[in-house]
């Protein structure tokens, strides 16, 4: 067996390692490796700009906005070629935009407004490149057998996951040895990889003119789909379930200012949670994927809310009374909560895949993920309002326990509406449907998590 054949079987999941495939995988890998700056962003906002937990939470919500309008980027790419290309040109521009955004963070950003704009632009860069590579994967899937398609999407998701795991620890290690702005400069080099590999994409040159016919047809199909009760009711439930308040920003300030966790330790926590997320996915795939959707949502939500209350032991320092070190408790708590959180989120991804009608699978999925991202923004913003109302600041954590209670109990509020979900996951699939493969959805959700959620 020659080297190319060996690589095809062992590294590329049976896929032919063509230049275009390598380019696609590099874009997904960059999405994961951009997590290198996530801790640096958190410390920059806290220490350099002196923002409060509520302000940071509000900023992270705004930074997620490009992911809400992600389907628009797909429509623009399909309808408006640049320099005669519908894929290459947008990858080049997105990589350049991402580079400039991180250079801006490293040099000219000195205010909350400038930081918000720069972070939002970096988020926009990844959202655009994600739309492009998703469309390329969909096009390749349509030309290959179902077994090959599954391998391709697993490979894409693995590329993002590997990038995320590699940077999980180093995001803290680098910050322990250099300034936040230096980390931003290093991060600025990675989007250029996206621009560089764009030339490897097979993208036939077309006449540079606006073509709205396909876009209008897709919009009509989407309108028909979302007006169906079997689609909009589950989507409404998922939106309410994910829009509940978040306490993440306040907890980051608490762990650094009150508990004194340094960046390198937080990097270790990131590594543990990244691996725990993979464990949660494996547990779901191995033991729970055949369980009815409603049952998974009910029990995962109840268990996650109950386990989330264990954070109160750390917030109130009760763990010290029990003889458990803060760092060990934090590591163990993060591991367990991440596994359960991933198990609870997996039905969202499965249901999103099954709600996509034939003909507009990719566009409908992007729309569903946009709804999910909008819910995430509301989660950040509502959390920010509650932090402000409770008087939680960068030094005052007396009411943090109450925020933790509110954040956990609020996840239970949508449960009376469980009947909005299909009785079984198969009920959401029409006889003609061809669900979006799970690996593509995982890659998309991981990209959002690594790039737009900068709080640890």
Separation CA 66–CA 116 (nearest Å): 12
The separation between CA 98 and the C-alpha centre of its own chain, rounded to angstroms, equals 17
Measured CA distances, 326 to 177, 256, 319, 332, 395 (Å): 23, 12, 7, 10, 18
Separation CA 90–CA 415 (nearest Å): 42
Neighbour-count burial for 259-288, b at 16+ CB within 10 Å, e otherwise: bebebbbbbbbbbbbbbbbeebbebbeeee
Q: Does residue 234 contact residue 351 with C-beta atoms inside 8 Å? A: yes
Q: Which pLDDT tens digits describe the chain residue by residue (456 residues)?
A: 565 565 555 555 566 778 888 898 899 899 889 889 989 999 999 999 999 999 998 888 888 889 888 888 877 887 788 888 888 999 999 999 999 999 999 999 999 999 999 999 999 999 999 888 877 876 766 565 544 545 666 677 778 878 888 888 889 999 989 999 999 999 999 999 999 999 998 888 877 665 566 667 777 777 777 788 888 898 899 899 999 999 988 999 999 999 999 998 998 898 888 888 778 878 877 788 778 888 888 998 999 899 999 999 999 999 999 999 999 999 998 889 888 887 887 777 677 767 766 656 666 777 887 888 899 889 989 999 999 999 999 999 999 999 999 999 999 999 999 999 887 644 444 444 445 555 555 555 555 454 444 333
Q: Does residue 157 contact residue 443 with C-beta atoms inside 8 Å? A: yes
DSSP letter at 35?
A: G
First-to-last CA distance in the chain? 45
pTM over 0.75: yes
Separation CA 23–CA 38 (nearest Å): 24
Q: Does residue 120 contact residue 241 with C-beta atoms inside 8 Å? A: no
Separation CA 137–CA 356 (nearest Å): 17
Structure tokens at 352: 């999103």
User: In degrees, to the nearest 5, what angle opens at C-alpha 374 toward C-alphas 138 and 309?
Assistant: 110
Q: Does residue 169 contact residue 268 with C-beta atoms inside 8 Å? A: yes
Q: What domains, with CATH codes, occur in the chain?
A: 3-452 (1.20.1250.20)
Indicate the SS3 state at residue 85.
strand
Among the listed residues 422, 381, 389, the one whose alpha carbon sits nearest the alpha carbon of residue 56 = 381
């Amino acid at each position: 067996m020659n080297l190319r054949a060996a690589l095809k079987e062992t590294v590329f999941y049976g896929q032919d390692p063509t230049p275009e495939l390598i380019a696609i995988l590099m874009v997904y890998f960059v999405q994961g490796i951009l997590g290198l700056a996530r801790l640096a962003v958190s410390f920059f906002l806290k220490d350099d700009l002196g923002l409060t937990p509520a302000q940071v939470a509000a900023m992270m919500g705004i930074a997620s906005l490009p992911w809400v309008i992600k389907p628009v980027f797909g429509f623009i790419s399909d309808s408006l070629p640049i320099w005669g290309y519908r894929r290459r040109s947008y990858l080049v521009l997105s990589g350049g935009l991402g580079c400039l955004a991180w250079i801006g963070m490293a040099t000219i950003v000195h205010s909350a407004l400038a930081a918000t704009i720069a972070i939002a632009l970096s988020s926009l860069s990844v959202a655009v490149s994600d739309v492009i590579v998703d469309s390329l994967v969909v096009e390749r899937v349509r030309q290959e057998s179902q077994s090959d398609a599954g391998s391709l999407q697993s490979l894409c998701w693995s590329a993002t996951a590997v990038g995320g795991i590699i940077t999980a620890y180093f995001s803290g290690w680098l910050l322990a040895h250099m300034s936040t702005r230096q980390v931003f400069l290093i991060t600025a080099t990675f989007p250029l990889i996206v621009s560089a590999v764009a030339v490897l994409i097979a993208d036939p040159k077309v006449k540079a003119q606006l073509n709205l016919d396909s876009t209008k047809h897709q919009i009509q199909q989407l309108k028909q789909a979302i007006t169906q009760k079997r689609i909009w009711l589950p989507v409404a439930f998922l939106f309410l379930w994910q829009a509940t308040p978040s306490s993440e920003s306040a907890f980051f300030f608490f762990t650094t200012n009150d508990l004194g966790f340094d960046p390198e330790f937080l990097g270790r926590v990131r590594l543990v949670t990244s691996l725990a997320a993979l464990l949660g996915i494996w547990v779901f795939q191995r033991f729970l994927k055949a369980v009815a959707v409603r049952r998974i949502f009910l029990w995962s939500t109840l268990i996650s809310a109950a386990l989330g209350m264990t954070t109160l032991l750390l917030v109130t320092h009760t763990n010290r009374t029990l003889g458990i070190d803060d760092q060990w408790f934090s590591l163990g708590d993060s591991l367990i909560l991440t596994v359960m959180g991933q198990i609870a989120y997996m039905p969202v991804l499965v249901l999103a895949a099954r709600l996509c009608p034939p003909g507009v699978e990719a566009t409908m999925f992007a729309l569903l993920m946009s709804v999910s991202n909008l819910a995430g923004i509301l989660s950040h913003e509502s959390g920010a309002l509650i932090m402000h109302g409770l008087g939680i600041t960068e030094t005052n954590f007396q009411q943090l326990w109450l925020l933790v209670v509110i954040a956990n109990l609020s996840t239970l509020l949508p449960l009376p509406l469980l009947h909005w979900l299909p009785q079984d996951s198969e009920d959401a699939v029409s006889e003609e449907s061809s669900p979006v493969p799970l690996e593509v959805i995982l890659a998309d959700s991981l990209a959002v998590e690594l790039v737009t959620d900068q709080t640890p």
